[in-house]
Amino acid sequence: MNAPRHFYYTLFGLTVRSEIELPELRPADRGDADVDIGLRDLGAAAPAREVAGLTLTPDGVVLCVPRISRYLIEQGCRVFVDPEEGVSPRNVRLFLLGSAFGALLHQRGLLPLHANAIVIEGRAVAFTGRSGAGKSTLASLFHDRGHRLLSDDVCVIDFDGAGQPIVHAGIPHMRLWRDSLERSGRTPDDFEAVLDGRDKYTVPARWSDTAEPAPLGAVFTLASAGEDARQVGIRRLRGAEALNALIANTYRGHYIARFGDSRRHWATSLDLVAKVPIFELERPWSQDWFGPTVDAVAAHLRADPQ
């Protein structure tokens, strides 16, 4: 039997070797891999305990996405994929590079935020917030003004040799709902849907030609200023308030209590609060206010680059 063909990619500072072609990712040179992705029938992966789609096993966890696929994530270095028959490869890849990779990042002890990040004046600026808060739309507006998109939806934070926080490059695309896509001057027919039947689209980034990380300069957590508000507000968070904002916006943070290292997560978040300013960004909850919000953030960073 012929050995499976492998594709090499880079994602979040890791070299990925995959039996599955992943067109969303940047290609990488062949060599030693940090993460291996393969196909496997997971029928023999006997559940030890199952909680909300996660099954704990002696070597890792199985993530079950109904009608899509099962994913076995082992020791932060392997992912085995068992797709449902007839499922769209696009749907399989979405959860592989999302929730399954989120589990792998927690296994590796990294800090993934539910955030988008762009680069301004050589430093990463991350926007966190709940789903639908406007993270991708805000990042896309910065991107359309010529700023490099560093990550979309999952923002992985690490520390360099000097102990300073950096953001690793994620998938070089944005995911925009139809209204945000059309407001940006793009046409939905020109882009692929994120998920079959979903009115959200994958938009390749134009200013993301490098996989190099960037030092983290600031984190903004998005909040609504209310329907009657008429201005954008930016407030520095400190102490427990800043720490809670990071913990609440950790990507797939509920995984940590099940198989992660909660003490390490807390300590990493605390270290980040001590080294990077965390802001609350309040804006009127309207599409019309995205442009003024970008202007307000840019002005704030110019006035207080730290």
pLDDT digits (tens, 9 = 90+) for 248-279: 999 999 999 888 889 999 999 999 999 999 99
- pLDDT score recorded for residue 10: 96
Give domain status of residue 65, yes or no. Answer: yes
Residues 99 and 123 in one domain: no
SS3 state at 49: strand
Quote the number of domains for the chain.
2
Tell me the two tokens of residue 291. Answer: 């442009």
HSE toward the beta carbon, residue 238, CA cutoff 13 A: 2
pLDDT tens by residue, 94-109: 999 999 999 999 999 9
- Per-residue tokens: 246: 């990071």
Domain end (from 90, 107, 124): 107
C-alpha distances out from residue 20 to 60, 122, 157, 208, Å? 21, 34, 26, 23
Positive or negative torsion for Cα 139, 142, 143, 148? negative
Same domain, 72 and 211: no
CATH label of the domain that carries residue 277: 3.40.50
Q: What is the pLDDT of residue 47?
A: 56
For the ranges 51-60, 152-161, 221-230, the maximum mean pLDDT occurs at 152-161
pLDDT at 3: 63
Using CA atoms of 68, 74, 80, 84 in order, give the dihedral in degrees to the nearest 10: -20
Based on the fold, state whether residues 140 and 217 are members of the same structural domain.
yes
Give the number of other CB atoms < 10 A from CB of residue 247: 15
| Phi-psi map region of 122: left, alpha, beta (phi>0 left; psi -120 to 50 alpha) | left
**Domain of residue 215, residue span:** 111-303
- Measured CA to CA, the distance from residue 107 to residue 165 in angstroms comes to 19
